[in-house]
Structure formats: structure tokens, C-alpha cells
Amino acid sequence: MLRNTTRSYGSVARILHWLTALLILTEIPLGLLANRWITDIDRKVQLFSLHKTLGVAIFAVALLRILWALGQPRPASLHPERRFETLLAETVHWVLYVALVMVPLTGWVQHAATEGFSQILWPLSQGLPFIPKSESLATVMGLAHQTFAWMLVGSLVLHIAGAVKHAVIDRDETLSRMVRGEPAGPGHHGHRTAPAAAAFVIYAAGAGIAFAMVPPTEAPAQRLEAVASDWHVTEGTLGFTVRQMGTEVQGSFADWTASIAFDEATGTGNVNVTIAMPSVTLGTVSEQAKGADFFDVANHATATFKADIEPQGDAFIAKGTLNLRGAEAPVAMPFTLTIENGTATMQGSVTLDRRDYAIGQSYGDEATVGFPVEVQANLTAKR
Ligand code: HEM
Ligand code: HEM
């Protein structure tokens, strides 16, 4: 029998139930391993890729399962006279059904909203239509995903405990009905909205908890002090691009200062840049980037670039020394410059080799993190 009756689960419902059970019980430890238990970046990235790929597959199975269930009668509880127990079991079923949609969906939106390191292992797009790249959206969705995942864990504990109780204490057919499809039970139950309403309230509370956990937009801990300069930087970005697991990932520094002297007549001058290393952001691995393996911001809070400016063809070049993570290496960055009405606009980029600064030394090849790092600087300054 493929279809359910009011006394039995059909084979489609049973196969989908146990397939989901297997997938979910694999997926939860994968999520915890990736997110909490494993710290090695290489493995973390791989586990997250597995988690996301399996998660999307679960989403597909879940939608199939729910569509199927919508067209089926639901077998009635074996003991409808035990009102509280029946209400609890049905509420848990609703929570589980909703979790099968909300948990993967929030995970997927989190993934689509962020510049990810861990990709979904498929040739299709990593993004989602209508989902912008947004740190704040990713934060909320990440927290909602965690909260809903823990609600799923909680309801599964109750669900499995219930199944065991029916098998061991009540010794009734509840479990065998789901395992072997044997018909059992009174075959009729009233249509009730209380369990669905209870599940709705539980999810609303979960969403509330997730929102309440969003950290307040943090004021930068301690900004670098302004520096005296002939040219005063009014706006600018200092970014960099690195290949991570074969994908380009964009990072940036929020806090840096530049002291610039420049003589328009000769096209020469000098520049002195200080970068607050804790202000780095790098996709989903900003914390790892600050760690001892990479920028080691605890020991090297600032980086400096001191250079002389000279003309080069139609443009300019800043030649000097970059002091980064306690290591020094010469750097020559070509840049373009236009000055109009006392406002200078400059754009430059240079490719560094992370090995020159002992960054990511435990990543000796390029499989996880590429060697070249392209630095991009854009700024406007007023005299
Ligand atoms: C070892 C793990 C599991 C066991 C032993 C188990 C056992 C059962 C049993 C015995 C039933 C039938 C209940 C009844 O007839 O009233 C059932 C129903 C159900 N289970 Fe599970 N389950 C497990 C895992 C899961 C997982 C991981 C999910 C989903 C996240 C899930 C979702 C459901 C749902 C939604 C129903 C209600 C089906 C319906 O009536 O439409 N179960 N389960
Ligand atoms: C039913 C499917 C899924 C389950 C049961 C699940 C479960 C989990 C669990 C238990 C965690 C760890 C939570 C914690 O550390 O507190 C987690 C984290 C995470 N999962 Fe999933 N997940 C699922 C699907 C997905 C999908 C489809 C994606 C993305 C495409 C995804 C992306 C993530 C991400 C990015 C995190 C880290 C969240 C953060 O800290 O911001 N998950 N998941």
C-alpha cells in the first residue's frame, strides 16, 4: 500500500519518514562539528560544505514529504483518550514538519547572504534570488538557523522518547505502525488546530530569541587616532582578495589612517599608512583571519606602509616597505591619481605574497588559501 489510511502509514510515508530520520540524524552532528567542535580551518570548510550540500538535499526530500503528506489521511493516535499525550505528540509532529522547512531555509539564506568560504557542492548558483549579500541578514539568519536547529533537537528528543515509551512501556503498535506499516488504532480523530497553533507559537518564540541574540552593531573597539597630513583622507576603502578553496573571497579593513604629502608640480611625495589589524573582515572567517595562524592581531595590532611617491608613465608608484605581522618586505604599488578642485582621487592595487609575512604558515600549499593576495586601495583626499 502506497497510501496512508486513517489506521496505517503507507510505504511512501514510511520511506520518506525514515529517510528524513537518517539524513537529519547525520546532518545535526555535521552542523555541530563544522560550527563548534572542529577548529582546523581546512576541515571546518570541508565539513560546512558537506553540511550545506546535505542540508539542501534534505530540504528537497522534506518538501517532497510535506507535499505527499498534504494529500494523505493521517493515522489517528492509538490512544486518543490520553488527551495530553496526544496533544503533545501531535504538537511535536507539527514542530518537526515546520523545522524541516525552516531549518534548511534559514541556513540557505544565511549562506546566500554571505561571501562564503564553504560552497554548496554543486554546479548551480551559490546565491539565491532576492537575497542580497548582507552581513546583518546573514547574522540574523545564522542565529535563526541555530535556534531552529536546537528546537529541532529538543523536539526530536521528545519524539524519539515517545516512540521508545510506546514500544517499551506501553508495548503498543505505534512504532511498528511506522516501521512495518501495520494498521492499528481507532481510525478516527477530530480535526484539531491546537497542535498546529502550539507549533506556531513555539516558532514565533524561537524567531524572537534569534532576533534578541543579534549583537548590537559594535562601535569599533578603539579607532586609530587621526594623523596630521597635507592631504586629508575623506573617504576610502582598503580591501584585499584572496583565493580560498578555489573561490575568490573579498576582505577589508575598516580602520586605517594615511598621512600624505604630495607635490603636484613634481609628482613626488610620500605616504605613511597605518592599519588597525583587528578591524579586518573576511567573509565568514573574520575571526580565523585575526587568529595566530593568519594576521595574529593579538601580537601585531597594526600594520604600516611607508613609501615614497614618484611618477611612473601617466600614473604614479608608491615604493616603500610594508610592515605586516612583524615582518618587513618591499612593496611597490602603482596607482592612478586625479586632482580636481583640491580633491584627489586615487586608485591602486598590488599583489603580495602571504608567505613574505609568514601568514598562514600551516597552510603550506594553495589548496585552502592561495599565496597571492591582491590589495586594493581607493581613496579621496582634500588638501
Ligand atoms: C530514530 C528516530 C525516529 C523514530 C524512532 C521515529 C518514530 C516515529 C513514529 C513511531 C511515528 C509514528 C507516530 C504515530 O503514529 O503517531 C513517527 C511519526 C513522525 N515522525 Fe518520526 N521518528 C524518528 C525520527 C524523526 C525525524 C528525524 C523526523 C523529522 C525531523 C520525524 C518526523 C516525524 C513526523 C513529522 C511524524 C508524523 C507523521 C504524520 O503523522 O504525518 N521523525 N515517528
Ligand atoms: C535540515 C537541515 C539542517 C539541519 C538539521 C542543520 C543543523 C545545523 C546545526 C545543528 C548547526 C549547529 C548549530 C550550533 O552550533 O548551535 C548548524 C549550523 C549551520 N548550518 Fe545547518 N542545518 C541544516 C541545513 C543547512 C543548510 C541547507 C545550510 C546552508 C546551505 C546550513 C548552513 C549552516 C551554517 C552556515 C551554520 C552555522 C550557523 C552560524 O553560526 O551562523 N545548514 N546547522
Q: Is the pTM of this model over 0.85?
A: no
Q: Shortest CA distance to 148 belongs to which of 95, 206, 208, 199?
A: 206
Q: Which ligand is nearest to the CA of 93?
A: 1
Report the nearest-CA residue for atom 6 of ligand 1. Answer: 160
Q: Which residues line ligand 2 (CB under 6 A)?
A: 24, 27-28, 31-32, 35-36, 51-52, 55-56, 58-59, 103-104, 107-108, 110-111, 120, 142, 145-146, 149, 152
Q: Are strands 280-282 and 302-312 parallel, antiparallel or unpaired?
A: unpaired
Cβ atoms of residues 309 and 262 within 8 Å: yes
Q: Is 156 touching ligand 1 by the criterion CB < 6 Å?
A: yes
Residue 218 binned pLDDT confidence (cut-offs 50, 70, 90): low
Cell 580633491, residue located: 343
The answer to which of 71-75, 215-219, 239-243, 281-285 has the lowest mean pLDDT is: 215-219
Distance in Å, CA 136 to ligand 2 centroid:
17
More confident residue, 235 or 97: 97
pLDDT in tens, 166-200: 999 999 999 999 999 999 988 876 667 899 999 99
Q: Which residues contact 301 (CB under 8 A, 6 or more apart)?
A: 276, 277, 278
Helix (H) or strand (E) holding 371: strand 369-382
* Mean pLDDT computed over 137-141: 92
Distance in Å, CA 31 to ligand 2 centroid:
5
Report the nearest-CA residue for atom 30 of ligand 1. Answer: 96
Fold that domain 232-382 belongs to in CATH: Lipocalin (2.40.128)
Q: Is 17 touching ligand 1 by the criterion CB < 6 Å?
A: yes
Fold that domain 11-212 belongs to in CATH: Fumarate Reductase Cytochrome B subunit (1.20.950)
What is the SS3 string spanning 7-25? CCCCHHHHHHHHHHHHHHH
Q: Report pLDDT for 133.
A: 84
- The per-residue pLDDT of the chain, averaged, comes to 91
Q: Report pLDDT for 189.
A: 67
- DSSP assignment of 152-176: HHHHHHHHHHHHHHIIIII--SHHH
Q: Which residues contact 23 (CB under 8 A, 6 or more apart)?
A: 54, 57, 58, 61
What percentage of the chain carries pLDDT values higher than 70?
Answer: 97
Atom of ligand 2 nearest to the CA of 105: 27
Our measurement of the distance from residue 59's CA atom to the centroid of its chain's CA atoms, rounded to an integer in Å, reads 18
The domain locations on the chain are: 11-212, 232-382
Q: Of the ranges 109-123, 130-144, 147-161, 222-236, which is most confident?
A: 147-161
Helix (H) or strand (E) holding 375: strand 369-382
Q: Report pLDDT for 342.
A: 84
- Grid cell listed for 285: 572567517
Q: Is 139 touching ligand 1 by the criterion CB < 6 Å?
A: no
Q: Report pLDDT for 220.
A: 55
pLDDT in tens, 267-317: 899 999 999 999 998 877 787 889 888 999 999 999 999 999 999 988 999
Q: Shortest CA distance to 279 belongs to which of 252, 299, 298?
A: 252
